[in-house]
Amino acid sequence: MLKLYNTLTRRKEAFKPIKQGIVAMYTCGPTVYDYAHIGNFRAYIASDLLKRYLIYKGLRVKHVMNLTDVDDKTILRSRQEKIALKELTDRFIKAFFEDLKALNISPADVFPRATEHIKEMVELIKKLLALNIAYKTNDGIYYDIKKFKGYGKLSHFRIGKLKAGARVRADLYEKAQAQDFALWKFHTPEDGDVFWQTDIGQGRPGWHIECSAMSMKYLGEHFDIHTGGVDLIFPHHENEIAQSEAASGKKFVNFWVHNEWLLVEGKKMSKSIGNFYTLRDLLAKGYDARAIRYLLMATHYRQQLNFTFNGLDGARAAIARLDEFMLKLKRAREEESDKKVYGLVKKVRESFESAMDDDLDIGKALASLFVFVREINKIIDKRKISERDAKEIYTLMLEFDSVLGLGLDREETKAPPEILKLVEEREKARAKKNFKLADKLREQIKARGYLVEDTEQGPRVKRIK
C-alpha cells in the first residue's frame, strides 16, 4: 500500500482515497506574471510523479491546478507594461502550457483561472461574513484568524498574542507574521481597471480565497490530496484550511504533500546573484528538457534539491543509458534467454513498486531500475536474451516510464540522406579494411552533427546533443 508523508500529521500514512478508485487532487499552480522558474517546476514535477504513480496503481485521478491571473504581482506588471491584465496573463499562461509539455508534465483535468471564478469567491466570503468569521474595514474584507480554533494546525504556528487590528492586505507577506488576511480588497487607484462590482463591494479577491473557492468547486468540500512547495505551508495553505473548514464545517483535505526547496549550486536561487533560471533559460543553453525533468525528479521530494550543471550532465548521461538499453531491446533477435531473466524482471518490479510505495522514494526506485538495466545488458551482450523476452522487458520499461515520464518510447533519430550515404561509404571502407578512410568518414559525419556507433547489429547513427 502506498504511504505518503502528511504535513498535517507529520508522519507517513497509508493512502486510501475517499471514493474507492478515484483520487481528487489539487495542485497550487503558477502566478502568471512571468515565466515559471525551475524551482516552480520542481514542485510541479513532484506532483506529476505522485499523480502518475497513483494512475500506475490503477487509480483514476481528478486533478485540478489553479492559475493565479489576478493578484498584486500580475496587476503591477500589467501596469508597468501598460497592457491589459488579461493580455499579460494570457501570454504567460500560454508559455506555462508550453513548458509543461516540454517537461512532459501531464496536464491537469481542470486549469481554473482566478478571474473566471469571482462568483464562487464572493459566495464563500459572504458565507464567512454571515458566520461572523470575516469582517469589513475601510479597505477590504478580512478573515479573523482568532475565531478559527484550528488555525496553525498545518504549519504548527502558534498565534500567541495578536495586536489589536493587526491585518495584512498584501497577497504575500513575511512568514513570521500571523495576521488577519484579506479575503476581498476594495478598489484603489493602484488597481486601475482591475475590479469587479459585486454584492460585497467593488474590488478584487485576495490570493488565498481563490484556492479554497476553486478546489471546493471542482473537487468538493472534502478531498484527498493537496500539493505544493514548503513555502506555501504558511500562510497560504494554513489560510486555505481556515477559510474552507470554517465555511463548510468539514475537514478540508486528507493529505497535504509538500516538496522541499530547490537550491542552485548550493545557494538559494536569486536574480541578484545570477543563479536564477527559467526552463527557457536552460533550453537556450542547449540542455535537453528530458535531462532537466530527470534532475528535478530524481531527488526525493522531501529533500532539498541542489541543482547543478554537473548534475544536469549526469542526468543527460542517465537518460542516454536508458535510451541505449531500449534500443538494444528493440534489436534483440535471439531465440532463447538466460534463465536469470525471469528472476530479474520479477525483482525489479517488486523493488520499484516497494520504493515508490514508501512515500515515493524515487532514489531507491531509480537505483533498482539501473541495477536491472546493467544485469540485462550483460545478458544481451552475451546474446542470451530472446526476442520475446526483450519485448516483454521493453513493455515493462514503458510501464515504469508511465511513472517517470522520461519518454523512453522515442523513435531512433532518422539521419538525413547525405549522412546515411556517408555511413554506407564508411561501411564499405571498413569491409575492405581501409580503416584510414573509415576514420576520415566518421569525422566528416561528426562534423555534420552526428555520431556513428558500431554495434553487433550494424552501425547506429545518432545526433550529437
- Per-residue pLDDT tens over the stretch 43-72: 999 999 999 999 999 999 999 999 999 999
As a dihedral over the C-alpha atoms of residue 147, residue 153, residue 154, residue 158, rounded to 10 degrees, the angle is: 80
**C-alpha closest to that of 262 among 272, 273, 274, 277:** 277
Residue 464 — pLDDT band, cuts 50, 70, 90? confident
Residue labelled with grid coordinates 580503416: 435
Q: Are 75 and 32 in contact (CB under 8 A)?
A: no
- List C-alpha distances in Å: 344 to 341, 347, 357: 5, 5, 20
Residue labelled with grid coordinates 530472446: 386
Q: Report pLDDT for 457.
A: 54
Side chain identity at residue 432, one-letter code: K
For Cα atoms 96, 400, 376, give the angle at the middle one, nearest 5 degrees.
135
Alpha-carbon distance of 210 to 205, in angstroms, equals 7
- Residue 100 makes CB contacts below 8 A (sequence gap 6+) with 44, 107
The answer on pLDDT for 140 being more than 80 is: yes
| Strand ranges for 113-192 from DSSP E | 134-136, 140-143, 167-168, 180-186
CATH class for the domain made up of 18-264:
alpha beta
- In the 8-state DSSP scheme, what is residue 272? G
Task: For 229, list phi and psi in degrees, rounded to 5.
Answer: -80, 160
| Strand ranges for 267-321 from DSSP E | 267-268, 305-307
- High-pLDDT (> 90) share of the chain, %: 82
Helix-strand-coil split of the chain, %, nearest 5 = 50, 20, 30
Report domain extents, the chain.
Answer: 18-264, 333-411, 417-463
C-alpha cell at 51: 499523480
294-304 average pLDDT score: 98
Tens of pLDDT, residues 402-440 = 999 999 987 655 677 788 889 889 988 888 889 999 899
Tens of pLDDT, residues 150-196 = 999 999 887 765 554 568 887 755 455 678 999 999 999 999 999 99
Q: Which residue has the higher pLDDT, 362 or 419?
A: 362
The rounded Cα 268 to chain-centroid distance in angstroms is 19
The answer on pLDDT for 81 being more than 90 is: yes
Residue 149 — pLDDT band, cuts 50, 70, 90? very high
Residue 462 — pLDDT band, cuts 50, 70, 90? confident
Report helix, strand or coil for 330: helix
Which residues is 263 bridged to in the sheet? 268, 306
Alpha-carbon distance of 301 to 258, in angstroms, equals 8
Tens of pLDDT, residues 98-138 = 999 999 999 999 999 999 999 999 999 999 999 999 999 99
Which residues is 203 bridged to in the sheet? 186, 196
Q: Name the burial class of residue 184, with classes exposed (0-12), middle (13-18) and buried (19+) by CB atoms within 10 angstroms of its CB.
A: buried
Which residues is 27 bridged to in the sheet? 65, 227
C-alpha cell at 420: 546515411
